[in-house]
Amino acid sequence: MTEEIFSIEMPVGERLIIRKNRIKGEGTGEKRLAVVTGIHGDEFEGQYICYEIARRLHENPELLDGTVDIYPALNPLGMDIADRNIPKLNMDLNRMFPGKENGTTMERAAAAIIGDLAGADLCLDVHASDIFVKEIPQVRVSEEFAEKLLPYARLLNTDIVWMNATATVHESTLAHSMNMLGVPTLVVEMGVGTRIDRGYGKQVIDGIFNLMKELGMWRGEVPKTQFPVISTDGEVEFIRSHTTGVFLPAIEHNHYVKKGSRLGSVVSPLEGKVLEEIIAEKSGLVFTLREYPFVYEGALLARILMEVDKN
């Protein structure tokens, strides 16, 4: 059953509406899982995840014991024009939580989102990466809430769980606000902006049903899932460009590299010259790789999870 959780009048003949779909199982269970996505309008990976969860639940309502709330577009205007931020306002919705009930339009929207999610037993905030780098499926957990969140994070069938990644630590994010309210909230991230990788999507969806099974919300079969590598910031090597030009990767995303191997080059199309060779300084898994070719000095090219051997 779809419901409007927030609605306001825009200037010219339209309402801004944030919707959710509440799917109730046939069992008597009281547990509630919330799946939210679309805070950033340029991230579409969550669209497939929402669709596929809703589809499977509608197909087998007798296997669901509890309630699953699906919020596919928390920033509906941003999604409409693939704007990461809130259009016109040019602000990141994920820096506006917990919002303000008597504030400006989007502060009220943020407050309404929090109000609607409050009371859930668990919340998953699904992000894609931005349009600049591609990510393997991962859960991001801030150290502050790690003890509470790790047992859930492990169940989600991702490749890694990254503890204390700076973006999620930010106090004005949805995840931080929800965790402060006592609703365990996990940030899931995968893929790249404006695209859907269904392979990654399926992997995480299997993880979500695995999690629901552990929570006692799902009576159906669950495929065998993997255990993620748990990593901290100290184990992640950031590789940034030292020059300005066009980045041409020499490796595949989600592959292991040895120390000293070439990851790619930054080139000058005008001069036909290689400006910089990018060399791995540590061995490990390339879990982040740049997709967007143009780079300035400082641009993120890759992230390597160190000391992970091929097994």
Site for another protein in 5-24 (CB under 8 A): 8-13, 16
- DSSP character string of 134-152: EEEEEEEE-GGGHHHHHHH
Which residue in the shown chain puts its C-beta closest to Zn ion?
Answer: 127
State the minimum distance, in angstroms, from the CB of residue 281 to another protein. Answer: 13
Residue 150 site contact among Zn ion, another protein, none (CB < 5 to 8 Å, cut-off depends on kind): none
Q: Is the C-alpha dihedral spanning 43, 46, 51, 52 positive or negative?
A: positive
| Distance between first and last Cα of the chain | 45
CA distance 180 to 170: 12
State the minimum distance, in angstroms, from the CB of residue 252 to another protein. Answer: 24
State the minimum distance, in angstroms, from the CB of residue 127 to Zn ion. Answer: 3
Closest by CA position to 233, among listed 131, 154, 141: 141
Q: For residue 31, state whether it binds another protein (rule: CB under 8 A).
A: no
Please, are residues 255 and 263 in contact by the beta-carbon 8 Å criterion? no
Residue 132 site contact among another protein, Zn ion, none (CB < 5 to 8 Å, cut-off depends on kind): another protein
Rg (CA), the chain: 20
Q: For residue 40, state whether it binds Zn ion (rule: CB under 5 A).
A: yes
Closest to another protein by CB, 12 or 81? 12
Closest to Zn ion by CB, 186 or 267? 186
Q: Please give the single-letter amino acid code of residue 160.
A: I
Residue 244 site contact among Zn ion, another protein, none (CB < 5 to 8 Å, cut-off depends on kind): another protein
Count of residues in contact with another protein, rule CB under 8 A: 38
Q: Is the C-alpha dihedral spanning 204, 210, 214, 215 positive or negative?
A: positive
DSSP tag of 62: G
Residues binding another protein (CB under 8 A): 8-13, 16, 84-85, 89-91, 95, 102-105, 108, 130, 132, 170-172, 240, 243-246, 268-270, 292, 294, 296-300
